């Protein structure tokens, strides 16, 4: 796919393979289909330890990503499970979001920035 690095920057994702980007007309959402790069696959979602694959997990899911202007954006990926020595069967880690989070790291960062105390807009 062309312009992959541009999409990566817009979506704020790293260590992630961007498979394709589609626009969901009904939901008015841009959906980026992704998967972790090989080195990031097969890791426990809680401790990041490399663990054997357990099964395909509950299927595809989506994470809220940074908006692109006025367009809402989401990442969509498979959710395989691994068997961690310490944590048992857990959904594998993904490089774009915290375990069990419904949004990406980049989305978190932006919300944190917007919520920073003392941030004022001057109009003089």
For Zn ion, the closer CB: 61 or 87: 87
Contact 45, 35 (CB under 8 A): no
Which residue is listed with tokens 């595809």? 60
Question: Residue 32 belongs to what H/E stretch?
Answer: strand 29-36
Q: Which residues contact 18 (CB under 8 A, 6 or more apart)?
A: 1, 4, 7, 8, 11, 32, 33, 34
Q: Which stretch binds Zn ion (CB under 5 A): 9-17, 44-52, 55-63, 101-109?
A: 44-52
Q: Under the criterion CB under 5 A, does residue 24 sit at the interface with Zn ion? A: no
Span near Zn ion by CB under 5 A; candidates 14-22, 47-55, 91-99, 114-122: 47-55
* Shortest distance in whole angstroms from residue 42 CB to Zn ion: 12
- Pick from 66, 84, 93, 97: which binds Zn ion (CB under 5 A)? 84
- Compute φ and ψ for 28, nearest 5 degrees: 55, 45
How are beta strands 61-68 and 53-55 bridged, if at all? unpaired
Residue 41 near Zn ion by CB under 5 A: no
N- to C-terminal Cα separation, the chain: 45
53 interacts with Zn ion by CB under 5 A: no
How near is the Cβ of 75 to Zn ion at its closest, in Å? 23
Q: Is 87 in the site for Zn ion (CB under 5 A)?
A: yes
CB of 90 to Zn ion, least distance (A): 6
Q: Which residues bind Zn ion (CB under 5 A)?
A: 44, 46-47, 84, 86-87
């Amino acid at each position: 796919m062309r312009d992959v690095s541009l999409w990566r920057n817009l979506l704020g994702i790293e260590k992630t393979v961007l498979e394709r980007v589609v626009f969901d007309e009904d939901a008015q959402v841009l959906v980026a289909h992704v998967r972790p790069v090989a080195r990031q696959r097969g890791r426990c979602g809680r401790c990041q330890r490399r663990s054997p694959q357990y099964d395909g997990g509950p299927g595809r899911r989506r994470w809220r990503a940074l908006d692109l202007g006025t367009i809402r954006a989401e990442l969509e990926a498979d959710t395989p499970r691994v068997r961690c020595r310490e944590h048992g069967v857990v959904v594998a880690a993904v490089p774009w979001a915290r375990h069990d989070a419904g949004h990406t790291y980049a989305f978190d960062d932006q919300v944190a920035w917007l919520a920073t105390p003392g941030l004022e807009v001057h109009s003089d």
